[in-house]
Structure 1
Amino acid sequence: MRRALAALVAVVGMATAHAACQRPVYLTFDTGHMGVAPLVAQVLQEEGVSATFFLADEPTQDGGSSLDERWAPWWRRLASQGHDFGSHTWAHDIWVADLPDGRMRFKTQAGRQVPRFRTLDAAEYCTELKRSAERFEAMTGRRMGRVFRAPGGKTSPRLLAAAQACGYTHVGWTPAGFLGDELPSESHPNAMLLDQALRRVREGDVLLAHLGIWSRRDPWAPSVLKPLVQGLKARGLCFAPLREHPRFGPALTAP
């Protein structure tokens, strides 16, 4: 009962904050090793922040994958709290090249996986986008928005046309919105990344972080996430769901 009440309060708080959001930024997360995922969710709930999550079935620190049954309850909780969701492809397919025969070449790799290369045509790429959406709906009972983020942000006109043909809009990030959690801790410590983001992020920016980066020694979340959220709020910025973004909203709210 207490948990249900707390979740309700959080959702109401998010709705109130969004209604008054005049200088929005849009916080997004891609899947990763999921080691920091519970802490990320905790910060978002404590701060009344809505975010958008882009889902791929990536290897996790617990030996499973980010969209397996062990993580299904976690995704259900996020869905009940009013966050937005999009596809990150199923297998984390990173675009490499467009081929002369009309297909596309991808490096399929997530985390510490050994990369493998494969080719997909437009229909097969669409299937990869939809597979994450279908899994999300099976876990949560909720439909995923028709948005996606290409792994690594790597796209081509052909890839974008293939996604558009099956109803998907690509969501990248703004330059200042690259929060740097993919970078080495040795050259980009958390304090540096926090200071940089607090100075550079502006109204309208789409922010990018991950639910765990294998190569980073000092986890970015939640040690940077919480002070970043609080610091941007202190600057008069607020966190709006991506469905309120003027460009991406239609793809998230379409029936």
Structure 2
Amino acid sequence: MRAAVACALAVLAGAAQAAGCARPLYLTFDTGHMGVAPLVAEVLRRQDVKVTFFLASEKTLDGGSSLDDAWAPWWKARAAEGHVFGSHTFDHVYWRGDRAERDGGGFDVRPSAGPKTGVSATMTPAQYCAELARPAARLAAMTGGTGRMAAIFRAPGGKTSPALLAAASRCGWTHVGWSPAGFLGDELSSERFPNELLLKKALRDIRPGDILLAHLGIWSRQDAWAPAVLEPLITGLKARGHCFATLAEHPTLGEAARRPAPAPVP
């Protein structure tokens, strides 16, 4: 009961902050190798910024996964701070195509995490919905029930189709992409897109209402984007009159981001 009251108060406080700012931004993080996760959390606390995290069980630098027991205290702390959570599919499952109805329908997929990493497979709509629900159950287990996933998801790579979005919607999930200027570039080559260039571009191009995308660690980037860019970006955007809110305060996605994740279908 106490946790539910605290969560409600956090949402109300966030809504009040967003309502008091004419230039809101919605910073989101997808999981990754988690190498920069402690530094990200430190910056967010220092800057008093609430964000939306999209959770998948991805391989970490220590050989574990981003949703294993070692990371449970980290996620529990973020829940206590009032951040919002969405699904990123448990095994970071990439959509690769729709299957024809004559072949049974569903989707061609390929996970980039978990026991079937890199193995092409098919999923029915029901199986895809079950995959979306798995991070919600794991978040509840890691946080002792204090962390509640919202009914929002982000498909890995942002790769979707109308058929996949419709299937997810039928089982209660709303997809969240990102704004063009909100692609913060932490997945790009460090040589071609150094941190200084990414920071300059973001400060120049981001506009009020944008959804921003970053990660908690990218394997391919040698010069880590966070925290080198994160804090200067936040302070620079604040200096331009922006404020930060979770997707629970978003004008069109807020209803879904305030709704609990759908329960898995038995």
Q: Same fold (TM over 0.5)?
A: yes
Contact 2:11 2:248 in 1 (8 A): no
Tell me what 2:79 maps to.
79
Which amino acid is 2:58 matched to?
E
Q: Report 1:3-14 matches (<5 A).
A: none
Aligned with residue 134 of structure 1, among 133, 137, 141 = 137
In 1: Cα distance, 2:227 partner to 2:17 partner: 21
TM-score relative to the length of structure 2: 0.88
How much does 1:142 deviate? Answer: 2.6
- Hey, what does 2:182 align to over in structure 1? 177
Kindly tell me: are residues 253 and 11 of structure 1, through their superposed partners in 2, closer, same or farther at Cα, counting changes over 3 Å? closer
User: What is the percentage of aligned positions where both structures have the same residue?
Assistant: 61
Structure 2 counterpart SS, 1:172 = coil
What is the root-mean-square deviation in Å for CA atoms of aligned residues?
Answer: 2.0
Q: In the alignment, which residue of structure 1 is the partner of 2:225?
A: 220
Q: What SS is found at the alignment partner of 2:69? A: coil
Contiguous gaps of at least 5 residues in structure 2: 1-9, 261-266
CA contact (8 A) 1:14 1:48 kept: no
How do residues 1-255 of structure 1 correspond to structure 2 at under 5 angstroms? 17-18=17-18, 20-100=20-100, 101-110=104-113, 115-140=118-143, 141-254=146-259
Partner of 1:199, secondary structure, is helix
- What's the CA shift for 1:158? 1.1
Point out the more displaced range, 188-197 or 20-29: 20-29
Q: Distance in 1 between matches of 2:12 and 2:139?
A: 24
Aligned residue pairs: how many?
245
List per-residue Cα deviations over 1:177-233 (Å, max 9, x = no partner).
000000010100000000000000000000000000000000000000000000000
Q: Deviations over 1:17-43 (max 9, x none)?
A: 445322100000000000000000000
Give the whole-Å Cα distance in 2 for the aligned partners of 1:218 and 1:102: 42
Structure 1: any 5+ residue segments left out of the alignment? 1-9
**Deviation readout 1:227-253 (Å, 9 max, x if unpaired):** 000000000011011100011110122
How far has the Cα of 1:166 moved from its partner? 1.1
Paired with 2:196 and 2:12, the residues of 1 have a C-alpha distance of 32
Counterpart secondary structure, 2:70:
coil
Detail structure 1 runs of 4+ shifted over 6 Å in the superposition. 10-16
Deviation at 1:85, TM superposition (A): 0.4
**1:242 & 1:21 partners in 2: Cα distance?**
15
